[in-house]
Amino acid sequence: GGTAMAAVRDVEIDPEGTFKYILVRLQRPGGEEQRDIVRGTKAAEFHNHIFEKVNPEMEKLGYECKCLGGGKIDHNSKDKKIRVFGLSTGYGKADHSVTVEILKKTYTDYEITWSDDKK
């Protein structure tokens, strides 16, 4: 069953702009296999809106989801730059350094940075 988890994309974020994001850990119930994914969108007014969308999708695939925290992403596709910053009031601050490593897998030719700045 490694294939299903591989089918889940590491990153799903809006192609442009500044928006909230969360870092989510997927795990097979009772299994060792786990993976962290990044999800972010302008459509979400609050961080939990993102989780409420991701969680049922992942449960259908047989994963337990845990939100590891959140923040904001500033995605500049023209300059190929992504900045990760801020925090989630509800979930706390994600480990942005982990988020950056995950983003780098998808956005290989981008300059990706993070900071603990609020804005």
Q: Which residues are catalytic?
A: 47
Q: How far apart are CA 84 and CA 20, in angstroms?
A: 10
Q: What number of helices (H) and strands (E) belong to the chain?
A: 3, 6
Is 118 flagged in the annotation as binding? no
Q: Residue 2 is encoded by which pair of tokens?
A: 């490694």
Buried b (16+ CB within 10 A) or exposed e, 79-114: eeebbbbbbbeebeebebebbbebbeeebeebebeb
Count the neighbouring beta carbons within 10 Å of the beta carbon of residue 31: 12
Q: Which residue positions form the known binding site for substrate?
A: 20
